[in-house]
Structure 1
Amino acid sequence: MTVDALAFLSRLHPYDALSDAVRRDIVARARVVRVAAGGPVYEHGAILDGLYVIATGQVRVRDARGAVLSLLSPGNSLGERGLLAEGRAVTSAEAVGDSTLLILPTDLFHSLRQAQPAFRRFFDRSRGAAQTRPSSLSEVRATSLMAANPVTCTPETSVCDAARRMRDHHISCLCVLEGGRLAGLVTLRDLVGKALAERLPGDTPIARIMTPDPRTLPPEATGSDVLHLMAEHRLGHLPVVSGGALLGIVTQTDLTAFQSATSAGLVGEAARAADVPALAAACARIPQMLAQLVGAGHRHDSVTRAVTDVADVVTRRLLSLAQETLGPPPARYLWAACGSQGRQEQTGVSDQDNVLILEDGLDERALRYFAQLATFVCDGLNACGYVYCPGDMMATNPRWCQPVSVWRDYFAHWIANPSKEAQMLASVMFDLRPIGGDATLWDGLQKDTLAQAAGNSIFTAHMASNALTHGTPLGLLRGFATIRSGDHRDTIDMKHSGVVPVVDLGRMYALQGKLEAVNTRARLDGALTAGIVSPGGGRDLLDAYDLVADTRLRHQADQIRDGQAPDNFLPPARLSDFERSHLRNAFVVIKTMQAALMQGRGILG
């Protein structure tokens, strides 16, 4: 063991809660093992020699039948369930890439559980979560579903050679690589429909029949993202790519055990809708989908991602219908969403917030076209239940339908002159996410804007102050500060007083760290990984956010099941004493992190 191992454990929970002496003892007694890519860490049923902690690399865990359960990264532990049972592995594990693991001997693991409360709470809690957590596509990553190291060929490979490779490997597609990057995809259907049916010579290059530049997903995509993209575009194979490098491929067969018919059905129906009324009919079932997902025990970010996926597909379908009516667009454009849709956090109550970013150099005719397109899409979204934005933050507002150069000027001006309006607009626009059109119009703009914002201390100070405008509903004597009058008297606004304060904190962390993530939970995770927040404070904030957001969604699901329209106003009197106590503790954590931001402790200067 080296000093690096000691430093590694000092940053890793629950070891960071132990004394220096205990950590040094762990380091002295632990072993370091290195496992080559594809090598076994342990087999199912094997007697475990301790707790495995991943220091570098990744480990894939499978159940007794060989189904992938998870893909674990540095900092994750494995083997604890077996150690807490009969001492035998209840799963199998293999290294995905060259990996280094620390093994805490079995007796050390058990002695730490007995003597160290923080250690015991962590692993007992993890065990309970593993036993009760529902298995679903919304909670599994694409990397856990994909076949790693897929069979490949080059564009010059002949159709005969490609067919033989598929036959010999018992697969239905080949990934076509050129210069180490994914250039195309060829399937059995391509071989039959394009080569065999057209009687092409056997030495025909595969480039002639492949699908060039196929749709892909990043490794952090969820199984639901895979399923929804397949449903929308009728795909049977979906490569997983990171930084241009091919990691693996997911097929429809891989999804069989994880089918999520409710959300996938809505996505497929929306993608095939012939008109706006058909889209509206699909959207009318979103509340029931939300209630079912919450009732099945899915965490808030899984539910809101599924709800937002439907909105994304509805938006793209409206863009297609608009182009069928108006004709093809005269120039490149990008339709982007902000607000909850931009952050992939839509619930049962969502208006629309969107903008159009256009190619530079357009004439009046082109501008009129995009004004008509914006009207068609925004009217369609309103008909589907995504009501017009009360603040007119929509592409129908000429201010938010502009060439990319104007958008650059907008951001530069807001950063250089952080007035109250500029702070408000920047808060909204830093949550932009591409939905349809040409995403390259946004890529460079986002990176440049984040760099400008992070480099302007005056702007970030103003944004930090703006992030503290939404207070938590904490009252005196361990009670809640509820709304005092009006239709929502004696309730807590779980959006503006619960979720929004964390959304604001996440946005600030993203600005400080130049993090490109838009989703709040992803921003908090990224801030924790990058050291922008302290390990203890960051984990507490994540737990507090999960509790507040889950409580908000359960409230909406209860309303839907009772036949009511969902809202964000929760009467605390309906909660048990236990629930009220934990919810209050969550608000205390959020308020503490707001205070840390105010005092400069929550972000690194």
Structure 2
Amino acid sequence: MPQTTREILALTHPYDSLPPEALDHLAETVVRRDVDAGTTIYPQGAPLDALYLIIRGRVEITDESGALLSILGPRNSFGERGLMRDGLAATTARADSDSQLIAVPADTFRALIADHPRVARFFDRTRPARAKRQDLATMRLADMMTPAPHTATPDTPIRAAAQTMREHGVSSLMITQGDTVTGIVTTRDLTNKALAEGLAPDTPVRAVMTANPMSLPPSALVSDVLHVMVERRITHMPVIDDGRLVGILTQTDLTRFQATSSAALIRDVADADTVDDLTGIVARIPQLLVQLVGGHNAHQVVTRLITDVGDATTRRLLAMAQEQLGPPPVPYLWLACGSQGRQEQTGVSDQDNCLILDDAMQPQHDAYFKALATFVSDGLDACGYFYCPGDMMATADRWRQPLRVWTQYFQKWIAKPDPEAQMLASVMFDLRPIGGDERLFADLQADTLAAAAGNSIFVAHMVSNSLKHTPPLGLFRGFATVRSGEHKNQIDLKHNGVGPIVDLGRIYALQGQSAQTNTRARLEAAIDGGQVSPTGGRDLLDAYDMIAEARLEHQARQIRRGDTPDNFMAPTDLSDFERSHLRDAFVVVKTMQSAAGQGRGILS
């Protein structure tokens, strides 16, 4: 961190756009202020006398009900919304840790935005983004990232790297070899690892970089980035598209693009010390669902945010297990299938998971991994992710195997697609890595998709298997409801609602060799790739959106009533208009199933 206020401002956007004389004046006008953890910097509704910039520490921003809106770190600003409106604080700001701030007096701030258009545009963009925070989660990383980030090679001296960062006013450099990203170096690395350790200026940057940094594709949601940053306590996110570096997103970029209280849940999960702590945190998911549905978020956003909490919970349990058992004897990868694998968890979910182990595993190592699987599955069950009724969990010996065995599984299912193989393949084609060494899955997934797509007999059996779940259509424009039992006169919005579309999406992904696991992403890829006609594909997307949103709205109503959410809805709960359109959606699904069964819905 630079020592002088002017140096800090010169490396912070939008002040880096100021001419030298304006920057000099600003540095002389602002005030540096230290605040202790827990200090309220200003309460909601109080008069604002300054805009604040964080130099060190973290600041929580909450709304009038106390709900967490964002967690801000160094180089983030806050308070501008109130200053640009009526001079009153629109939120409450509280120091989450010992922090140091720069306070820009209100009159100075107003003069800045009046005299410098680039500064004005920066803060004017921030205002509507925060006011419409329910829409932020739908934004894609491609819309926010900084394209073409600055790069260096691993052999670049740390002095040259620092000079490049100073010259361009950036806080990081991507370290690349050819087209491959091998690491990232930040100002924090240069301070903590180079300067503090007294490294020579000609030391290669590889000595202080973070190797193989976490990255996301440009199609990822803004909420994905926020959750990863909060959970893993990182401040820079490289953006990789098909193996190619296309951009970077920093914590500063996220200042005005915070997700709703799902960020608070993930932060609490990352800080949890016990399974009991996790249980209390995950118990807040139903209220999160109500909030997100009430905010008219798209169903794929709601389920993605809820699944993010489930992913973070799983990773925290894996870490707890390793704290108890010690480091693993060989590399492993924990994967989820089912709704978690597809990033489609709702207010009610069981667990479906497995373990892929490195081929170096020896028989005596299984005791460790069985104990790890038991700890995690028991923890997930305690948190409300109930044991899979079909025992599709890593606790089962069958689903805790070395990579070579998993390769044999898929080869056998594809070569001999009997009913059990079809069922297992359907489940396992939804696998998504959650925690561990992801290299154990990359080749297996690519090889399996290629082999499966090239086997027309297997594809035909998978299509036939996908038609077993049918939409609940009855005669005379009615619904085929459950005939007896606890859910008599209700329709199952999971198995007969979204289920048939999930099955179709999996078939399209298989035929197109798409690595996507999310159903909506699979449908979009199928349209782009020609696995379905544009008209039929768009109709199916619209039908999926209607059915999935009806399911979430049903669960939200149950939660608001104090009931446990489920997937069974009585058609009488809907208006005539809603029933008519929901039935039309089921007709679209039935039509697409028929086309797939006749070979017209997919490429042959």
Distance 2:170 2:472 in 1: 56
Shift of 1:160: 3.0
Distance 1:210 1:409 in 2: 39
CA contact (8 A) 2:133 2:259 kept: no
Alpha-carbon distance in structure 2 between the residues aligned to 1:198 and 1:446: 43
* Residue in 2 that maps onto 1:43: none
Which amino acid is 1:170 matched to? G
- Spell out, residue by residue over 1:157-205, the C-alpha distance to the aligned partner (whole angstroms, 9 max, x if none): 3333333332332222222222232222121212222222233333333
Q: Name the residue aligned to 2:153.
A: 154
Q: Is the 8 A contact 1:352 1:394 kept in 2?
A: yes
Q: Paired residue for 1:100?
A: none
CA distance in 1, matches of 2:182, 2:356: 28
Q: Which amino acid aligns with 2:486?
A: D
Assess if the C-alpha contact under 8 Å between 1:134 and 1:296 holds in 2. Answer: no
Would you say the 8 A contact 1:271–1:317 is kept in 2? yes
- Distance in 2, Cα, partners of 1:431 & 1:200: 47
Q: Offset at 1:256?
A: 1.2
What secondary structure is seen at the aligned counterpart in 2 of 1:136?
A: helix
Structure 2 equivalent of residue 99 of structure 1: none
C-alpha displacement of 1:475 = 1.1
Tell me by how many angstroms 1:255 deviates: 0.9
Residues 381, 387 of structure 1: 8 Å contact kept: yes
* CA apart distance, 1:465: 1.1
1:487 partnered with 2:486: yes
Amino acid at match of 1:331: V
Give the aligned partner of residue 439 of structure 1: 438
Question: Is the 2:134–2:295 contact (alpha carbons within 8 Å) kept by the matching residues of 1?
Answer: no
RMSD across aligned C-alpha pairs, in angstroms? 1.7
- Once the two structures are TM-superposed, the CA of residue 134 in structure 1 deviates from its matched residue by 7.2
Cα shift readout 1:580-602 (whole Å, capped 9, x = no counterpart): 11111100000000110111111
Take 2:201 and 2:366, find their aligned partners in 1: how far apart are those partners? 50
- Say if 1:328 and 1:293 are closer, same or farther in 2 by CA, change over 3 A: same
- Match for 1:294: what amino acid? V
Q: CA deviation at 1:361?
A: 4.4
What is the alpha-carbon distance in structure 2 between the residues aligned to residue 512 and residue 151 of structure 1?
Answer: 38
1:39-86 CA-to-partner distances (Å, cap 9, x unmatched) read xxxxxxxxxxxxxxxxxxxxxxxxxxxxxxxxxxxxxxxxxxxxxxxx
CA deviations 1:375-428 (Å, max 9, x no partner) are 111111101110101111111111111111111221122222222111111111
TM-fit CA distance, 1:552: 0.4
* 8 A Cα contact 1:136 1:258, kept in partner: no
* Structure 2 residue aligned with 1:59: none
How many Å apart are 1:133 and its aligned residue?
9.5
> TM-score when scaled to structure 1?
0.76
One-letter amino acid matched to 1:215: M
Distance 2:481 2:179 in 1: 58
The answer on 1:579 being equivalent to 2:581 is no
User: What SS does structure 1 have at the residue aligned with 2:252?
Assistant: helix
Distance in structure 1 (CA, Å) of the matches to 2:132 and 2:410: 42
Q: Kindly provide the amino acid, as one letter, of the partner of residue 281 in structure 2.
A: A
Task: Give the SS at the match of 1:320.
Answer: helix
- The answer on 1:456 being equivalent to 2:455 is yes
CA offsets per residue over residues 8-33 of structure 1, 9 Å max, x none? xxxxxxxxxxxxxxxxxxxxxxxxxx
Equivalent residue, structure 2, for 1:299: 298
Q: 417-426 vs 134-143, which deviates more?
A: 134-143
Secondary structure of the residue aligned to 2:255 is helix
Aligned to 1:104: none
Matched ranges for 1:101-112 at <5 A: none
Given that 1:184 and 1:210 are in contact with CA atoms closer than 8 Å, whether structure 2 keeps it comes out as yes
1:485-505 Cα deviation digits (max 9, x unpaired):
221122111001100000011
Would the alpha carbon gap of residues 479 and 236 (structure 1) be closer, same or farther in structure 2, given more than 3 Å must change?
same
Aligned to 2:234: 235
Pairing 1:503–2:522 present:
no
Matches within 5 A, 1:91-130: none
Q: Compare 539-548 and 353-362 and name the one that shifted more.
A: 353-362
Question: Matches of residues 153-172 of structure 1 in structure 2 within 5 Å?
Answer: 153-172=152-171
1:321-360 → structure 2 map (5 Å cutoff): 321-360=320-359
**Match of 2:563, SS?**
coil
Identity of aligned residues (%): 61
Residue aligning to 1:174: 173
Task: Name the CA distance, whole Å, in 1 between partners of 2:158 and 2:405.
Answer: 49
Match of 1:7 in 2: none
* Code of the aligned partner of 2:141: A
Instruction: Report if aligned partners of 1:134, 1:297 keep a CA contact under 8 Å in 2.
Output: no
CA 202–268 in structure 1, closer or farther in 2 if over 3 Å, else same:
same
Aligned residue-pair number: 475
Q: Structure 1 stretch 497-506 or stretch 363-372: which is displaced more?
A: 363-372
Aligned to 2:244: 245
1:304 Cα offset (Å)? 0.6
Q: Name the stretch that deviates more: 329-338 or 447-456.
A: 447-456
1:572, CA displacement in angstroms?
Answer: 1.2
Q: 1: distance between equivalents of 2:415 and 2:211?
A: 43
Q: Secondary structure at 1:502's aligned position in 2?
A: helix
Shift of the alpha carbon at 1:481? 1.3
- Would the aligned equivalents of 1:357 and 1:407 in 2 still touch at CA under 8 Å? yes
Supply the distance in 2 between the matched residues of 1:158 and 1:511 (Cα, whole angstroms).
Answer: 47
Does the alignment pair 1:514 with 2:513?
yes
Q: What secondary structure does 2:200 align onto?
A: coil
- Larger displacement relative to structure 2 (316-325 or 173-182): 173-182
Structure 1 match to 2:289: 290
SS of 1:564 mapped into structure 2: coil
Paired AA for residue 307 in structure 2: T
Alignment of 1:201-220 (within 5 A): 201-220=200-219
Runs (5+) with no aligned partner, structure 2: 1-130
Q: Deviations over 1:477-523 (max 9, x none)?
A: 11111112221122111001100000011111112222111111111
